[in-house]
Chain A
Amino acid sequence: MQPFTTLTGVAAPLPQVNVDTDMIIPKQYLKTIERTGLGKGLFDEMRYDEEGNERPDFVLNQPAYRNAEVLVAGENFGCGSSREHAPWALLDFGIRCVIAPSFADIFFNNCFKNGILPIVLPQEQVDIVMEDARRGANARVTVDLEAQTITTSDGTVISFEVEPFRKHCLLNGLDDIGLSLQKAAAIDAFEAQAATARPWV
């Protein structure tokens, strides 16, 4: 996993609530057996018309936002299915950070496993970043995970919360399977105890 330390880039505004995982990456892209190459399907139905041509009004099709690395969205972002194809598609497109007033649980989790930082901010602060993002490609924001701050293009600094363990893994790009396997002795002990307590399982 690619570590996430600091990021300075263009933020794209997507002021929509309940952006679900079917919108982020619809089912026809779920047939892959790979993790990569999903960026072309990101936001498929919003991004392309029936003939597959780009819809010029969709934010990521506008010249200013084609290289966006941050997405600013409305509440309950990522609701719906558990498909990790959603963060994979964001990542493949180049998005490394999503800022919203709230996220659906599974999506939120999946982001951390893929080096994407999801940031929860109160609506008023999301509005500030959203306003800034609307200014286009010249308005670059900086996200500093170590310091837990977002700095908008006009220098406004907003702090955010992140769980310590997740921060640690993200900063160092740690694979948590490796970490958990270090606890193999504890897992063995649990299994032994469970085999006595609940032998029918």
Chain B
Amino acid sequence: MPAKTLYDKIWDAHLVHEAEDGTALLYIDRHLVHEVTSPQAFEGLRMAGRKVRAPERTIAVPDHNVPTSADRAQGIENPESRLQVETLDRNAREFGLMHYYEMNDIRQGIVHIVGPEQGWTLPGMTVVCGDSHTATHGAFGALAHGIGTSEVEHVLATQTLITRKSKNMKVEVTGTLPPGVTAKDITLSVIGATGTAGGTGHVIEYCGEAIRSLSMEGRMTVCNMAIEGGARAGLIAPDEKTFAYVMGRPHAPKGAQWEAALAWWKTLFSDEGAHFDKVVTLRAEDIAPVVTWGTSPEDVLPITGTVPDPDSFSGGKVEAARRSLDYMGLTPGTRLQDVAIDTVFIGSCTNGRIEDLREVARIMEGRRVKDGLRAMIVPGSGLVRAQAEEEGIAQKLQEAGFEWRMAGCSMCLGMNPDQLKPGERCASTSNRNFEGRQGRGGRTHLMSPAMAAAAAITGRLTDVRELA
């Protein structure tokens, strides 16, 4: 047998049909659905008189539009947001979806946090969602990627996806991470090195000692941003940490099924000598805590750096950098650590898990959010929120000056009332710093939870290593 990559193995196990020109029909094990990208798909089914083929494989949850204020059980104020959430409620009912976590269910949360938390995401699966950050689930060694609404409709109707095989790309991170450097710094540094189009047309497999040593939460953070590097999906081969995380989750296999699953999962790795079309290697020792300075996730620099001069770039990037700096209100040569912020956002599918909140709590120990700053924590799910409360983290963070919110996407993209005002500058643990992403005219600096906590303390971009 020829040597196969992890991606090849999962692909082969799900191939229903492949035409001569390479157009393939791929079977989908789990279809995750949220309220923003699904209404038109359900409407399409309704108009064509079609059913959902596998309602037991379809998991739905509202997350983008839901308010994160404590009074949300009383209803959603914004009429358009309310309509979108109600439309999902109705579609879930009408189409007989068997796993729907409505807004007031404690298990509600960001779809990419809920999936793994409930044990829907398992190694070797195919997982899709009308959402580009579906790549998150690749942390389990599942082939997971975002699709458009027409494809959502296609998956609902057929439980398959028309697709083509991507190329294989290996991103290896060797060695041991220095203190103060986290999964977020790895994933941002990879994008800084490859660019936002570096992974286009590829499925990335992350490997190497630094990746292996990450927790499952950290691995999800890394895979989450594969899409920001242009890749369709990110993958990490499952290992004992993966199995330990999955075991006992509500929808994970049990008993003999577990044993059978485990036997197969253990075969899910890239064979010795398997072919990769592209290989990128980074040394963990070279990675520093980073922040973004511009409006593309590739605009990454170590926190010790200075705002770059657009003329130091080449090609179309010169104009793009000039535009970015203008939008961000930054001057070349300014030390990143001198940039003052107004807001701190901790949350999103990149960094809204319990480990992230623990990390923030650790940095905040004996310290406070700087007076006048708006600092919010939005747990990734109701269960993350409950766990943080149980561990006493929630109380400590509130005492330190953070707002403690209900679960949802929140200020990651500001479709709900949590938004930046024009010109406001935010230290954010989310994944996109595009113009207007967190609110029209808002300025986003992406960073790790530890770095965001450090910024909350000083009121400016800060090297967390100086506080630790």
Q: List residues of A whose CB falls within 8 A of some B CB.
A: 15-18, 20, 22-23, 26-28, 30-35, 45, 50, 74-76, 79-84, 87, 102-106, 109-110, 113-114, 163-165, 176-177, 180-181, 183-184, 186-187, 190-191, 194, 197-201
Contacts and interface: CB of A to CB of B under 8 A. Distances in A.
Interface in B54-99: 64-65, 78, 80-81, 83-84, 87
B402 interface: no
8 contacts: A28-B415, A31-B81, A31-B415, A33-B87, A74-B316, A109-B147, A190-B16, A198-B261
Given A28-B415, A33-B87, A103-B200, 11 more contacts: A16-B316, A18-B196, A31-B65, A31-B80, A33-B84, A76-B200, A79-B196, A82-B147, A104-B230, A190-B27, A200-B258
A82 B16 contact: no
B158 A181 contact: yes
Contacts of B261: 198, 200
Contacts of A104: 197, 200, 230
B299 to A, nearest CB: 10
Contacts of A15: 316, 319
B130 A30 contact: no
A113 B21 CA distance: 18
B23 interface: yes
A114 B445 CA distance: 34
B25 A186 contact: yes
Interface string B191-202: 000001100110
A30 B83 CA distance: 12
B157 A75 contact: no
A176 B316 contact: no
Contacts of B153: 177
B50 interface: yes
B125 A177 contact: no
Contacts of A102: 197, 200
A81 B153 CA distance: 17
Q: What 9 pairs between A and B have smallest CB-CB spacing? A: A200-B253, A113-B150, A17-B316, A33-B39, A31-B80, A110-B148, A82-B146, A84-B148, A84-B149
B12 to A, nearest CB: 12
B162 A176 contact: yes
A45 B436 contact: yes
Give the one of A35, A200, A201 with max B CB within 10 A. Answer: A200
Contact of A177 (B43, B50, B230): B50
Given A114-B150, A200-B257, A83 B197 contact: no
A17 B415 contact: no
A183 B80 CA distance: 38
A45 B435 contact: yes
A187 B27 contact: yes
B296 interface: yes
Given A27-B413, A181-B158, A200-B257, A80 B29 contact: no
Given A75-B197, A80-B132, A177 B158 contact: yes
User: In the complex, which range does the number of interface residues on chain B fall in?
Assistant: 35 or more
B40 A105 contact: no
B122 interface: yes
Contacts of A81: 131-132, 146, 432
B148 A75 contact: no
A30 B436 contact: no
B17 A83 contact: no
B320 interface: yes
B361 to A, nearest CB: 30
Interface string B11-26: 0010011010111010
Contact of B148 (A76, A113, A165, A200): A113
Given A33-B87, A176-B162, A16 B319 contact: yes
A17 to B, nearest CB: 4
A30 B130 CA distance: 13
Contacts of A23: 434-436
Contacts of A50: 422, 440-441
Contacts of B78: 31
Given A31-B80, A81-B132, A190-B16, A199 B148 contact: no
A195 B447 CA distance: 43
Interface string B238-274: 0000000000000001000110110010000000000
A22 B434 contact: yes
B37 A84 contact: yes
B132 A17 contact: no
Contacts of A74: 316
Nearest to B298: A18
Contacts of B132: 80-82, 106
B437 interface: yes
B75 to A, nearest CB: 16
Contact of B158 (A35, A84, A187): A187
Contacts of A191: 27, 159
Contacts of A180: 25, 154, 157-158, 160, 162
Nearest to B86: A33
B10 to A, nearest CB: 11
B129 to A, nearest CB: 8
Nearest to B43: A33
B196 A163 contact: no
Nearest to B439: A27
B150 A76 contact: no
A75 B316 contact: yes
A20 B27 contact: no
B1 interface: no
Contacts of A18: 196-197, 296, 320
Contact of B17 (A31, A183, A200): A183
Contacts of B148: 82-84, 87, 106, 109-110, 113
Contact of B29 (A79, A165, A201): A201
A163 B160 CA distance: 20
B122 A201 contact: yes
